[in-house]
A and B are shown apart, each in its own frame.
Chain A
Amino acid sequence: MPSRDPRIVDLVSVAGSRGATYADARTVEREHEAVSVKDGAVESVTRTADRGTAFRVIHKGAWGFAATDRTDEAAISDLVNEAFRRAEASASVQKRTVTLASISAQRGEYRTKLGRDPFAVPLAERIDHLRAVDAASVGPNIKTRRSSIAAYRTRKRLVTSEGTDVSQEIVEAGAGLSVLAVKAGRKPASRYDSRLVRQAGWEYVEHLDLVARAGRYRDDAEATVDAPLADERPTTLVFAPEFLALLVHESCGHPTEADRLLEHEVAFAGTTFMWPDDRGKLRYGSRHVSMTADATVPGGMGTFGWDDDGVPAMRTKLVDKGIFVGYLTSRETAGALGVPVAIGSARAEGWQHFPIVRMVNVSLDTGTTPYADLLRGVESGLLMEAPASYSLDDKRQNFHFSTQSARVIRDGQVDGYVRGVAFQSLTPDFWGRCDLVADDWELHGFLSCAKGEPLQLMRVGHGAAHARFRDVPIEVRE
């Protein structure tokens, strides 16, 4: 747990005496260790640490925020002055005042449950593990191999003027793998995954079975570099959970962020096509498509005890049997929309940022059909294993995805590879083509969802199972 520096309690008290209607102070300490191996040699061994203090007030109806990594008394007290200066500047150009949806005061601690602390695993053991992974990646056309293991620890404490005082210690472990196949006269083929991360200990790295996974990635890249181009025609696409996790993130997670409704992100991240009047009416997808935001999922990268508004972890439905029903909110956005707090999604990257609406764990709900049965319903189609390039419009409505690895499905069997597959679609049209979700739900973690100014990279979680989409037009490019 973070150090119990009494000064952050004092900061909040001082803010009250200077007329702030709300104040909170947050200390954050972060550690990160990473080891990477490239082509059999240690590429880097890094250890990162930082700590700092954030202070936020509502004064004259407007937010002011300041953060520093200095710890001297002058710097800490200057946080108050700077936050008030910025709140007063905000109030000079303001048409609506900030209103926070109410919550009860929170007290307590949250800590990730660990099997084996990933920071305690000897460096030599991590390097040896990666060298074994690297050896499994070697192939006749594999030109570049990279693998890495990382551990993260965040300790933070939040104190608010409403009586909340909560502390959390979150530990995450993960790995990265990539191979690049290059062959004369052929287009290079990459296979990689940087989303193998979970709120867990070293046991998750072992669970990943990186050696076996490296062999699969090598085989995928070797086969893809030699594969024929796919046929360009509407076809049945089966998406692996790894691919769907990103599709859920981009096309459901982002457009349900409530700050987009208020146009807080309109100049950068954009807005949405899912407006308040659409709740309960807008058909987002087929009846097979339900999506849930859940900050309580064990191991999720969006799991916590409390968000950075001090809202306890909750779960709420975003899409129910194809119908849009809910938003991700902060206390500010719930207050602006006039709705009670149904989920706490105010999160800040580190100590230096203002909390904004971020995803927690946003997942496609599991189905009940075994994956093999789902495949049996495909006479001819493609299995889309992992995303490559992706691009979305500012409403999260028009998107384009390409794939690293596309497998051929014939008569319910996966057999062979094709390359060059991409698709563009409109969100409701795409999810409307989903006719089955399998029961093999699994959780994926992202480290760097980008949003906000200055940019904040946020950890989020996404679960999904294999799912089937009919008659999807695809593009094929050399």
Chain B
Amino acid sequence: MTDESRLLFSCVGLSKSYTVKVLDDVSFELRRGEIHALLGANGAGKSTFCKIVAGLTAASSGTMQLDGKSFAPSNKRQAEAAGVQIVQQELNQIGTLSVAENLLFGRFPHRFGCINRKELHRRARISLERFGIDDIALDMPVSRLGVGQRQLIEIATALDRDCRLLILDEPTAALTHRETEKLFTWLSQMRDRGVGIIYISHRLDEVSKLTDRVTILRDGRRVESCSTSELSTTDMVRAMTGIESASTETEFTSHTQTPIRLRVKNIVRTGVLENISFEVHAGERLGIAGLVGSGRTELLRAMFGSDTADSGSIQLDDDPQQHRFRSPSQAVHHGLAMVTEDRKQSGLLLSQSIAVNTTLASMQQVCSRVGVINRQREHTAASDYREKLDIRCPDVNQTCASLSGGNQQKVVMAKWLLCGANVFLFDEPTRGVDVGAIQPIHRLFEELARDGKAIVIVSSDLDELLRTCDRIIVLSAGHVTGEFTRGVWSRESIMQASFAGYAI
């Protein structure tokens, strides 16, 4: 029974909307001296929830209470002053500063503005020793440490400040087994001191072992809150997955043909991708599911040559030649196309026109033999694809910056269609795209399939893959942990596979 005096933090009706609702009416309670796991699939709202509690973003509605007092931090500093610390997945360190300087950043011991180096190192040593770390030089710039050690220092930094509520988002992702054990010992000590801990992890066995209670989010709503001992890891996955919604079972026509268009063989990038192999037929849409950080984007990048794989190869059509591309230009030359996750950083020339973007990968089609651009031909080519893909704009001379996300994505696709690619790699094709533009993009997958292209789609939205793909393979911690074909797949089995690699 919840003893009122043990209640540390609570919230009621917490909601957050961007263009869509990412957090919907969530209530949550955290007791003193409790490690509380927060679970959910990609996009379930875990990170948003934590950011609200830590003051990094404000809730659209709902109230929070800390220690019985109303709590509404408007920034991180206020949350910290109230005793809330967060350790995020992204490292929040200044690489050129030393370990000690990062540990005590913002709290430098000083006299008249001069940092007292002796005192700085003394305090830094104390906080690291408390954590059992004695093998890191305090004056080493953190950029020269490994990711695991940086993660430890990040955690130590948070724990060193007085806190009553600690939020850890995937703290063990980069830690070795020994470091993880160390962290758990420490967290247990903090629990005994009465600190409340919110713990996010993909590793369900860790959750079972370490935490006292579990709250499960799905599509921004709380679906379960109970004591950890009541749930097996299978139950947890089931709760995260939910009931198969009817809407995903729309009509689907397969266009898969017999010939194999793309063979991926034993691709390895040490520490990121472990021996990945699969095949894609002509006209087939292959989905790649997996949790954020499971290596999905890295796989596409390795195939496309934007990162070079350590070993492994790609074969195309009947060509016996085995490729390991070292640059995107090689991949494009062999008929690959990649629609990247971040349109603005690596997909588009935002300040240039739609026409310029459309022809970027296929200049040879719109220029003379000596490289003079035929503007008429360029304009016609761009206009053709504007029509085909229904890009909403008055004119192809308009800049891409003025287009909506969906239309921008269509421009990226126009670029690759004009270039005549045969193998399409899509990384989060509908992220940040308005709802109305998703359907046309999915129809485009279908058209590509009908034309016999091979299509690989990475998406964090499992529904999207279930709706659009012939087959889904699952990546988990860099391993392929499952392969499912339409008709025999289930959300639950895919979700089980997504977590499987982390238990190894």
Do A and B come from the same complex? no
